[in-house]
Amino acid sequence: MKYRLIVLFFLSSPLLSIACDICGCGIGNKYIGILPDFQKHIMGVRYRYNSMLTHLGNGGATTHLTTREKYHITEAWGGWNITPKVRVMAAVPYSLTAKTNQGNTDSKNGLGDISLTGLYQIINKRNTTQHSRLLVQSLWLGGGVKLATGTYNPADKAIQAQGLNLFQLGTGSYDFNITAMYDVRLQDAGINVNTNYKINTANRHHYQYGNKFTVNSQVYYKFRTKNKIMLAPNAGVQCETAQTDLDAQLKVFASGGNLLLGTLGVETIFGKYSLGANYQTPLSQNLANGLARAQDRLMVHLAMTL
């Protein structure tokens, strides 16, 4: 069975998923790992863990107001090849979130925002170089929509004026994504570049999360064993930048910003199954004008091709 390494940054994805997307909010960090090619369908489940420190003081200092927010997100997802060049994907997240301040914990759980996307393959080339090495290139372009299925509670905005609005299961809005994925591989070594632009709309409470641009680049290498198991370690960087939120058309001070992450992962493919994990750690960041700080992220997934 032949495999083409495709990194799909889902339209959050959930997670990824980050104003609200940068933190998590049930829809953050949409990186879903390296997947096998599939002829008809693929289905799977993945687990994400994101965490944030919010309500920081001047210079990022911890104060009595500082809160630790944790996001545990489990997603059921699938993909369908309509034709060899047309692919549709969907993800249904369920979130368990909690925030802790001075020993007091507040939590909520429920359905998150469902994502739908369509992809069209522009480039699919396989050539042999003059040194008899296989060169494979793939380019997918697409777009999609994030539905307003997760609960948005305006009462959960921070009490302070122009405060953080992260502790939500969903945005309460219908949002749109434009994505592009390019992969080039020489024999078993490759590079993947993945970009996504998320266009957010205002919800019925007149809150609009800032638009977000994400780019992810990584290198990988495939190791094949005699029993037909393929291992693909990978490493790279992910850059996220979000515009300022709007609340009733007024700019929200504690929102927006940028985040640079280092990523390290491994994928395993055995028969029609794939299992993978990805760890991300912040390298530099400036979120919510210094009032929030992203911490390490983790993603684990299991998939089956049909």
**Rounded mean pLDDT of the chain?**
84
**pLDDT computed for residue 49 by the predictor:** 93
Residue 259 pLDDT more than 90? Answer: yes
> Can you tell me the mean pLDDT for 79-89?
91
pLDDT at 135 over 60: yes
- Model pTM score: 0.85
Residue 16 DSSP code: B
Q: What is the pLDDT of residues 109-125, one digit of tens each?
A: 999 999 999 999 999 99
**Average of per-residue pLDDT across 81-95:** 92
pLDDT-derived band at 20, boundaries 50, 70, 90 = very low
Domains of the chain: 6-305 (2.40.160.40)
- pLDDT at residue 37 in the model: 58
Among the listed ranges 14-28, 94-108, 148-162, which one has the minimum average pLDDT value? 14-28
pLDDT, position 247: 92
